[in-house]
Chains A and B, each alone.
Chain A
Amino acid sequence: MPHGYVALVLHAHLPYVRDTEDDFSLAEKWYHEAVTETYIPLINICQRLNRDRVPYRITISLSPPLVTMMADPLVQEHYRRYLERLRELAAREVWRTRNDPRFHLVARMYQDLFENTARTYQAYGGNLINAFRELQDSGKVELITCAATHGYLPLIGLQREVVRAQVEVAVNNHRRLFGRPPAGLWLPECAYNPGDDAILRDYGLKYFFVDAHGLLYATPRPRYSIFAPVYTPAGVAAFGRDLESSEQVWSAQEGYPGDFDYREFYRDIGYDLDFEYIKPYIHPTGLRLDTGLKYYRITGRSGYKEPYVPEWASFKAHTHAGNFLFNREQQINYLATYMDRPPLIICPYDAELFGHWWFEGPQWLESLFRQVAGLAHQPFNFITPSEYLERFPVNQPATPCMSSWGNNGYNEVWLEDSNDWIYRHLHHASAEMIRLANQHPTAGGILLRALNQAARELLVAQSSDWAFIMKTGTMVEYAVSRTKKHLLNFWELTRGINKNDLDPAKVQDLEEANNIFPDINYRIFASM
């Protein structure tokens, strides 16, 4: 038996930003950047590890809005166009920098990266679902789901039906796209409310994750603190985030991503280069934007920046992976001395940290798996939560405490001055949706379509992202207007439903504008 286990968990999520109207949507650009910088590199890493038969395990949570966008033909087409422009820009950059060795190497690196991205994208016909499904079938990658629209369950879940709907839609959507039910669920923002576990159990979900204090403050006190899961009263396993490994990656001061050799996120040629030259690759209105081509390294704490040296950065990623490995080994050896079972270290991260924010993150990840595999002594094994539960089916019963991984660990990020006003509206809309679902046990024709669309609008309004953006203070108007737009659409539909006066053209417009969860059934909101 190994000394211990490490479970790497990546949570991939973006709000539903499919845009039918705008030819150039800034919100959809979030998706484009994440595909180029995070999702495709992640797919490539796993493919390379599979090819080289490296024994690794990783758990990836793919949120329903994200996978729905990946599967959507319009979003796929928009991404194809985006990638074409990006490749064109990279090619021009290679030419422009031909006499400047400092930047030429970096430009070439980007060109290779984007060409490779295009090859992967083409190989799967533009549908990344196929790529993830293939990885899942390899047995090395465990795909799990998240709540339907990443709703912050402790705050939107005033009515149990709402939590049930968020979970049911997610599980059905996952099964539809990946051909099998998810083993576990990533609670949006790790936000756990005691009692929600009973709903997870009803949908066959075996586990979820909480932040460290969710387990540390559980009742009764967990025997192994965060180094083994507990079973909640509903019999679902709750795994706790490890603090030590989180800090190594996340810490703003000592964390790996802040290393001076790594790429600087906030120097982009979209801002730095001559306007006429860069114009075709920024916003059509001339608004300067990030292009994704960034030529500098972090260099230091001041504004002064030196050119990026890919080789140095790769070396650092490799070194940091070695450091992570070493620290986990120490941690596990220490714990294993005292524990009567191998300790389990849960390392969950936002997937978009890897590649998008921390450009070298994917290299770090791949290097970590390869270094562990290359060691003669196995310091620990990588594992998925499902495998762990198979090996250790007996766990302590305990109730984790209400918690989240947001600032200060509870609900305050999503419930404060900037965003508290939304809950009144979300709760009332939910109450109306539940009433309608109960009132119409069966529906057909235009009534069915209107009820389903009302459910979609409500679900999208429930995304935790809007409250989060309001809190961060940038792009607040966008978040406010998305919240209002979906709720107003919801009330317009319910007015038509209640008055039995539905306009088919209007319903169709709304269906086309917001087509998340094509096979949704409004009855998910019905009371049991």
Chain B
Amino acid sequence: MDILSDEFKQSFSIIPPESGVYGMVTIVSVLILALLAGVFLWYWRRKDNSPAAKPVLIEAPPARDLPAKYGKDEIVLMVKDPYWLYAYWELSDAKKEELRRQFGPAAWENSRPLLRVYDLTDHPYDFLRAPFFEIAITDLADNWYIHTGKPCSTFCVDLGRLIPNYGFVTLVRSNIVTTPADKPSSVIDPLWPPVEACWTAVERYEKSACPSSLQLVKIQK
């Protein structure tokens, strides 16, 4: 405290008492300057002590870009996890023309794009009897994440259009995929009946799920 007050006395003594308003301004500006210098010094030292930002890898961006379209009519279906699928697609202008030839010149503009998701689990390859649901999409989209919520199930997706006064028209049909299980199977091989101890031993850890290498990378950053 003594040192501090000494410093204050000194700084006051620089300014003649008769300087009045100017004196006050000088005192304030000296204090502000001192404060700024302090902050700057503090920041500088801190900056020196803390590690600098991680460098980024530099690779010259390619001169050209990948094609937006490959001139195909297709929809491809992929599995994300037991509950989600992912589909991407593209349609050529020829396909649009085909629709117009069939349903009139305004068929494309007057119809709405739809994804029809067939659940083929209980009706393999039987698209007429398989239950399905539809997702209204937009003409701007060329990919979609589809929530099915159904593990161990087989799906196929049609990309098509809903034509007024006619109904759904399929434009392209996807590959068929099967979602993975999210729990132990109820199927038991009588020759290999489960040993209970082996199963109780893993129960404790089953739901805790170890961090993946991705999480580890994130923790480390």
Q: Which residues of A contact B (CB under 8 A)?
A: 26-27, 154-155, 158, 194, 212-213, 216-227, 243-244, 246-247, 250-252, 265-268, 271-272, 283, 287-289, 303, 331, 334-335, 337-339, 343, 350, 353, 357, 396-398, 401-403, 405-413, 415-416, 420-421, 423-425, 427-428, 468, 471-472, 474-475, 477-478, 481-482, 484-485, 487-488, 491
Contact = CB atoms under 8 A, between A and B. Distances in A.
A482 B208 CA distance: 35
B212 to A, nearest CB: 4
Given A224-B195, A266-B51, A396-B192, A407 B215 contact: yes
A154 B55 contact: no
B2 interface: no
Contact of A288 (B52, B70, B88): B52
Interface size class of B (residues with CB under 8 A): 35 or more
B9 interface: no
B17 interface: no
Contacts, number: 208
A402 B79 contact: yes
Chain B binding surface SS class: loop
B195 A339 contact: yes
Given A216-B202, A406-B214, A423 B180 contact: no
A515 B212 CA distance: 32
Contacts of A227: 198, 201
Interface string B186-210: 1111011111111101101110111
Nearest to A482: B59
B92 interface: no
B202 A212 contact: yes
A226 B187 CA distance: 17
Given A217-B182, A243-B210, A266-B51, A339 B88 contact: no
Contacts of A218: 185
Given A335-B201, A396-B191, A410-B80, 13 more contacts: A194-B178, A219-B187, A223-B195, A225-B199, A225-B202, A243-B202, A250-B211, A252-B219, A410-B79, A416-B80, A423-B78, A468-B214, A477-B61
Interface string B67-84: 100101000101111101
B127 interface: no
B45 interface: no
B137 to A, nearest CB: 16
Contacts of A283: 55
B141 interface: no
Contact of B181 (A401, A407, A413): A401
Given A339-B195, A398-B189, A472-B217, A287 B55 contact: yes
